[in-house]
């Protein structure tokens, strides 16, 4: 499987993917920001990098066309959004439908959009987490592939909670890509995901834990 990773900044999820020993050829890492820290990290792994700067384009359609041209040059089977902070046009999303995935720092469908950790704290939820999903035209609502949950602790602040969630992002994104590379995952009907994987232990997740636990 050939994959292209799209980033906008730090690139820690990208790095987790590059480190995971996946049966994937990472053909390129593409950023919409020339100053994205992740570009140097990718180069350190010997992965080709490219920049398609959104600021050089008059509108979303023109940017997305340039981005698609750069992606298609690498002929990927999979497009991986890893902290890629641009809203994509419907035409772009449809071009890669069923072969483009994203990671979102919340348990979707709760908290789509930005500032998820702050909003989770404000809402008082006891469980927060992250989601890997297929990308569909509406932002942050595509079929869910895998999620990880973390407890929200009484003294949590935004940074602490974000760090705990990020550690789980770095576990579930490589798992999702491994399933895809092994041909065990596809986008099914009606927002469902078809995963041909052994049933893993699915214990109850209760936060705070029950007294009897």
Q: Which residues are catalytic?
A: 104
Q: Is the Cβ–Cβ distance between 81 and 107 less than 8 Å?
A: no
Least distance (Å) from ligand GRF to the CB of residue 210? 30
Reference 7, options 26, 23, 21, 20; nearest CA is 26
Distance between CA 85 and CA 122 in Å, rounded? 23
User: Residues 65-94 vs ligand GRF: string with x where CB under 6 A?
Assistant: -----------------xx-----------
Q: Which residues contact 73 (CB under 8 A, 6 or more apart)?
A: none
- Residue 85 dihedral angles phi and psi, to the nearest 5°: -100, 40
> Of the listed pieces 10-18, 119-127, 152-160, 193-201, which binds ligand GRF according to CB under 6 A?
10-18
**Under rule CB under 6 A, residue 103 binds ligand GRF:** yes
User: Residues 119-158 vs ligand GRF: string with x where CB under 6 A?
Assistant: ----------------------------------------
Least distance (Å) from ligand GRF to the CB of residue 149? 14
For the chain, report the end-to-end CA distance as a whole number of angstroms.
43
- Candidates 12, 31, 32, 89; binder of ligand GRF (CB under 6 A) is 12
Q: Is the Cβ–Cβ distance between 47 and 26 less than 8 Å?
A: yes
Least distance (Å) from ligand GRF to the CB of residue 203? 25
3-state SS record for 180-207: HHCCCEEECCCCCEEECCCCCCCCCCCC
Least distance (Å) from ligand GRF to the CB of residue 189? 26
User: Residues 164-203 vs ligand GRF: string with x where CB under 6 A?
Assistant: --x--x----------------------------------
Reference 151, options 93, 209, 195; nearest CA is 209
Applying CB under 6 A, which residues contact ligand GRF? 7, 9-13, 82-83, 103-105, 166, 169
């Amino acid at each position: 499987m050939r994959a292209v990773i799209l980033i906008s900044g730090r690139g820690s999820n990208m790095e987790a993917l590059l480190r995971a020993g996946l049966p994937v050829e990472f053909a390129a890492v593409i950023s919409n920001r020339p100053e994205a820290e992740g570009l140097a990290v990718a180069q350190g792994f010997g992965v080709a990098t490219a920049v398609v700067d959104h600021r050089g384009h008059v509108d979303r359609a023109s940017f997305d066309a340039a981005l698609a041209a750069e992606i298609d040059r690498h002929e990927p089977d999979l497009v991986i959004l890893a902290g890629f902070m641009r809203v994509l046009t419907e035409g772009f999303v449809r071009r890669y439908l069923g072969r483009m995935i994203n990671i979102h720092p919340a348990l979707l469908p709760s908290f789509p959009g930005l500032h998820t950790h702050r909003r989770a704290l404000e809402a008082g939820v006891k469980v927060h987490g992250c989601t890997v999903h297929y990308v569909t035209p509406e932002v942050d609502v595509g079929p869910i592939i895998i999620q990880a949950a973390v407890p929200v602790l009484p003294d949590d602040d935004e940074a602490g909670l974000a760090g705990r969630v990020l550690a789980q992002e770095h576990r579930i994104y490589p798992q999702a890509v491994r399933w895809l590379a092994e041909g065990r995952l596809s986008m099914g009907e009606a927002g469902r995901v078809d995963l041909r994987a052994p049933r893993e232990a699915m214990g109850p997740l209760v936060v705070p834990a029950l007294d009897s636990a």
